[in-house]
Structure 1
């Protein structure tokens, strides 16, 4: 068989069937990449873990610099990335900001990965 006849035979046999599930669209892929990128940093993973396992009424930013041994501006940057990605909620109380895990955030991320 020639290469052309092989390709024609493969096309007619349906060798590359598409799945029944629709592939990830461009907008959803952009959102998903932003979410996964937020998790792709060890300091942000640690922050997420600390906040998730912290007090139910929120973890103060002042309590997050010590465990990570990072300065407040760096910790605040990482927290902003996690808030923007939808993992954390931020509440201002006086001069301090308190962070809580956004309900459903981890489940949403797991669903994103399962949906691939």
Structure 2
């Protein structure tokens, strides 16, 4: 489900709609008002809404003649947790790949290791 949700949010118009609904839940009180606020042509708007619904990011609720659109909290939480894990993994990977400084490799009194020197008596 996460891949489908991220794929749905990868489109700029769907991301704009999702942010609008997440930041201003009252915007989803009516599809008609949401279309006006989003400034997306109606045919395109309905397509993007359907993609977001299939991804589990939003759901529609009919209340009489009015259709409400709300962000699905579970999808939002799951997406946030995935991002958090990715960032944690990336951060851990970045710190593990840092090379130790010169202090980690003490200097020896010899200039070259034994296996690099010519054999004695040559």
Which band: TM-score by shorter chain?
Answer: 0.5 to 0.7
Unaligned runs of at least 5 residues, structure 2: 87-122
Say which SS state the counterpart of residue 100 (structure 1) adopts.
Answer: strand
Q: What is the count of residue pairs matched by the alignment?
A: 85
TM-score for the superposition, normalised by structure 1: 0.61
**Unaligned residue ranges in structure 1 (runs of 5+):** 1-30
Distance 1:93-1:72 versus aligned 2 partners, 3 A rule: farther
TM-score, normalised via structure 2 length: 0.59
Could you say which structure has the higher helix fraction?
2
Distance 2:84 2:59 in 1: 24
Q: Deviations over 1:65-112 (max 9, x none)?
A: 223322212111111111111111101234442101112321101223
Q: Which residue of 2 aligns with 1:39?
A: 9
Instruction: Answer with 1 or 2: which has the greater Rg.
Output: 2
Superposition RMSD in Å: 2.1
Q: 2:81 maps to which residue? A: 111
Q: Which residue matches 2:19?
A: 49
Residue 64 of structure 1: how far off its partner (Å): 2.1
